[in-house]
Chain A
Amino acid sequence: MVKVEKNEDNSEMNAQGRQMVVPGETIVSGEHFLPGEGAYRDGDEIVAGRFGLADVSDKFVKVIPVSGVYQARRGNSIIATVVDVTFNGWLLDFGGAQNAFLSINEVPKFINKNELREHFDFGDSVACKVWDVKARGIDVSVKMRGYGKIEGGMIVTVNPHKVPRVIGKEGSMVSLIKNATGCNITVGQNGRIWVSGNSIDDEIKTKKIIEFICDNSITHGLTEKVEAFIKTLK
């Protein structure tokens, strides 16, 4: 199992007074502010460098993306699909701008170069960790415990920017879903969520709850709403 990581962005979005901003819009004015990710300085002003939620904490100003293609970061756990097998590793599609490369050196056991497909074949799903992000693509590893090929269950694909909402505060939302459906849930930060339960019906139920969370992600009291929604499913 991949451990659900604590996420930096697990608080109520609008409750914190974050504003939606469009590119080029002034977020704050003042020399003491510092532009963080997704923001830039123009004279006295800190300006949005992308569409998203403006976050002003202390003097740091950033814009949290709410949309778009997943951008991998070192240390992220993702779920990817094998799309090619090369002589020294596998190419994986993870829904990003490029493919990820899994080298045979990043697998926890010795692999004979003639037997690559016996370990990960075309179409296999792999839970892996991003260990390097380069211009040419990203490198991933399955050396650590909890990573590797995943079998059974289904994959639910969501907007990667909604992943923090699916996880919830310190994993509270995932626990809520697990308790309701009895399914195992592994959240990839690329928006692919592996759901595996006793029956497909349980998995579909989990899928519905996840979809509900994503559709209602920018609202107050999401947890209560999800609890109410779960009741309607019974």
Chain B
Amino acid sequence: MAEKSKYTKRSDGRKIEELRPIKAEVGIVPSADGSAMYESGNTRAIAVVRGPRTLHPQHMQNPQKGTLRVNYGMMSFSVWDRIKPGPSRRSQEINKVIEWALAPCIDLAEFPNSVVDVFIQIPQADAGTRVAGINAAAMALAHAGIPMKQMASAVAVGKMDKTLVVDVDKEEEDFEEGEGATDIPLCILSRTQEISLLQLDGKISPEELKEVISMGRKACAEILKIQTAALKKAKDVRGIEK
């Protein structure tokens, strides 16, 4: 080992591979077909699933299988610097990468011409909103009874100067010393252990990346346990409405 990393202690005192405190709850929006909340430290995501239902307009329908459509949005007051409401280039890209992260889990062959809508909202953000969104969405999809081969769990691994850490928060994301901060959100599928989301902003060596993935897998296994427990605790799914 050459130089020592300038990142020696995590801002909130966590261990290198320690996740922030997690809360998860299934069945939070009564009118939905499936819904869930996932909270990691100060980042909270809520996800709602509606469908399968007929996809409009008709020309967008796929006669071979159903379509998964993700809509991710941060509430204006979720971050310190207010965000203008409505879609942005960022949110549209996130919609797509979350769709790709979740699509390998689900099987919509039985629902041609239909759409399964996943709505993700972030009321409070402290980094890692897309991975929190995926964790909530996977629970909400299961809750909605969608045929799924496996679950999906996601976490952002970071590199602070030369130190690899799990579940990056905002303060870490903004770390600027040495090699600065590198953010690697990733999603692991519960059964095949394959990676369905992989993004990286920063700089990293191939060896380090291997380590990142292995740390990510371990963290996702923990997250999966929490998602599973929350789903099994869901007393009712679509109780009585109206």
Contacts and interface: CB of A to CB of B under 8 A. Distances in A.
Nearest to A212: B240
B130 interface: no
8 contacts: A24-B150, A49-B107, A49-B147, A50-B147, A51-B148, A67-B145, A214-B236, A215-B236
Interface string A193-217: 0000000000000000011001101
B20 interface: no
A157 interface: yes
A159 B54 contact: no
Nearest to B138: A23
Contact of A157 (B146, B149, B241): B241
Given A69-B144, A159-B237, 14 more contacts: A23-B151, A24-B151, A49-B149, A50-B147, A51-B143, A51-B148, A67-B143, A67-B145, A68-B146, A71-B110, A97-B53, A135-B113, A162-B236, A218-B235
Contacts of A42: 191
A67 B54 contact: no
B34 interface: yes
Q: Is the interface of B mostly helix, strand, loop or mixed?
A: loop
B242 interface: yes
Contacts of B228: 22, 25
Contacts, number: 112
Contacts of A159: 236-240
Contacts of B238: 67-68, 159, 161
Contacts of B54: 97-99
A23 B239 contact: no
B144 to A, nearest CB: 5
A66 B107 CA distance: 18
A157 B231 contact: no
A23 B71 CA distance: 23
B142 A157 contact: no
Nearest to B105: A23
Contacts of B240: 156-159, 210-211, 214-215
B51 interface: yes
A67 B34 contact: yes
A20 B232 CA distance: 6
A68 B144 contact: yes
Contacts of B113: 98, 135-136
A99 B113 CA distance: 12
A68 B33 contact: yes
Interface string B42-81: 0000000001111000000001001000000000000000
B145 A51 contact: yes
Given A47-B191, A97-B53, A135-B113, A24 B145 contact: no
Contacts of A210: 240
A38 interface: yes
B227 A215 contact: no
Contacts of A217: 236
B210 to A, nearest CB: 24
